[in-house]
Amino acid sequence: MTTVMVFHEVDDVDHWLGSPKREEFFGPLGMSARTFVDPDNTNRVGLIVTVPDLDTLRTALATEGAADAMKFDGVRPETMVMLVES
């Protein structure tokens, strides 16, 4: 398993936190995610995601399902940064 930190901005933090889309998207792929919120920047959030491998995550994020989930959650994809545990 690989651990990845993902940072991005969202339109509405409360909506993003309460959304079922993360589990619906990541769960069937064998991935789990923990959520974090930047206390000083109300629209910056993060995840620690445990994934089978980085290629699986990258492939999943390139799908229409990922785009739909991000749109539903108000994720601003252009702000996304991923860091991989070394």
β-pairing, 44-51 with 2-10? antiparallel
| Percent of the chain residues past pLDDT 70, beyond the cut | 100
Q: How far apart are CA 8 and CA 78, in angstroms?
A: 8
Q: What is the pTM of this model?
A: 0.90
Domains of the chain: 2-84 (3.30.70.100)
pLDDT in tens, 22-59: 999 999 999 999 999 999 988 999 999 999 999 999 99
